[in-house]
Amino acid sequence: MSKYIDIAVNLIGSALEKNIDEIIQDAAAQGVSPLIVIGSELDESEQAITCCQQYPQQLFCTAGVHPHHASEWQADSSERVKRLAAFPQVVAIGECGLDYNRDFSPRPMQRKAFEAQLALAVELQMPVLMHERDAHEDFLAILKEYRPALPAALLHCFTGNRQSMQAYLELDLHLGITGWVCDERRGQELAELVTGIPDNRILIETDSPYLLPRSMRPKPKSSKNKPQYLPYISAYIADLRGQNHQEFAQRVYENSVDFFGLNKREDFSLERGEPHEAS
């Protein structure tokens, strides 16, 4: 059985939170483990750490402030993210970035919170997990300043166009692809673009409970996306890229392990999934 890591799961404060045991078990049964839990504001990041502590090796998380919450960014926020990032469960700074699509926070505050978290990732030499929606130019301008000093940078849920993809690849970003790509209406451009992402820069994610892949048949009864659907997304993307399902899954798994530094951890074994191989 192929192994997968879901690099973006909105487990805390979402529709998934009530059934964490079940979510983890159902995912693991499909070879999806560990899950990277997104911290999208400070209290939530703290809860994510507590949750990860209850499921060692099965859950890791990020710590940061999503652009939707950038208006909550305060003078001591950097210090708080830094304290949270010191927990061994935290594998990246974020989710941070810019969202000019919904503008839930004023843009100057979004830029401020984004810059502060990039600076922190540089200081701590940690990978950063980023979000960008309809903010390509400002995002690129800010990121360019910090990128040379960042160890690794991921733009999760990439949904941009060819030009933005090329600019991001030139900055040596990893690009996270969701089930958005399975959407026969709005995912068409992305379906073409995923063929152009280098093998060592592509990651896959559900971004659950959002973005249920629209092409799944039979259609799941609930519109809630779950980490257990990641193998479907993986196979779908592999087909678009003309790659063997298992080889693609293996490559992306290794990319995820490398990106989050899981191979350097004592509590993570690459061989963990092996016993399943025989069954």
Q: Are 23 and 30 in contact (CB under 8 A)?
A: no
Q: Among residue numbers 148 through 177, which ones bind Zn ion (CB under 5 A)?
A: 157
Taking the least distance from each CB to Zn ion, the nearer of 131 and 226 is 131
Residue with Cβ nearer Zn ion (8 or 257): 8
Q: Which is nearer to Zn ion, 94 or 231 (CB)?
A: 94
Residue 178: partners with Cβ closer than 8 Å, 6 or more residues away: 8, 156, 157, 204, 205, 206, 207, 211, 233
**In the bound complex, which residue of the shown chain has the CB atom lying closest to Zn ion?**
131
Determine which residue in the list 131, 143, 164, 238 makes contact with Zn ion, applying CB under 5 A.
131
Residue 111 found at the interface with Zn ion (CB under 5 A): no
Distance CA 68, CA 209 (A): 17
Q: Which of 186, 194, 203 is nearest to 251 (CA)?
A: 203
Is the Cβ of residue 183 or residue 238 nearer to Zn ion in the bound state?
183
Tell me how far, at minimum, the Cβ of 60 lies from Zn ion, in Å.
17
The answer to whether the CB of 2 falls within 8 A of the CB of 31 is: yes
Q: Nearest distance from residue 154's CB to Zn ion, in Å? A: 11
Nearest-approach distance from CB 108 to Zn ion, in angstroms: 20
Query: Shortest approach of Zn ion to residue 98 CB, angstroms?
Result: 11
Token pair of 129, please?
A: 């997990």
Cα 85 to the center of its chain, rounded Å: 16
- Between 2 and 178, name the residue whose CB sits nearer to Zn ion: 178
Closest C-alpha to 222, from 19, 5, 8: 19
Number of residues counted as binding Zn ion (CB under 5 A): 2
Cβ proximity to Zn ion, 59 vs 157, nearer residue: 157
CB of 264 to Zn ion, least distance (A): 26
Extended beta strands in the chain, E state = 4-9, 32-37, 59-63, 90-99, 128-133, 153-155, 174-177, 202-204
Nearest residue to 239 via CA among 200, 191, 278: 191
Shortest spacing between CB 90 and Zn ion, in angstroms: 17
- Kindly list the residues in this chain that would bind Zn ion in the complex (CB under 5 A): 131, 157
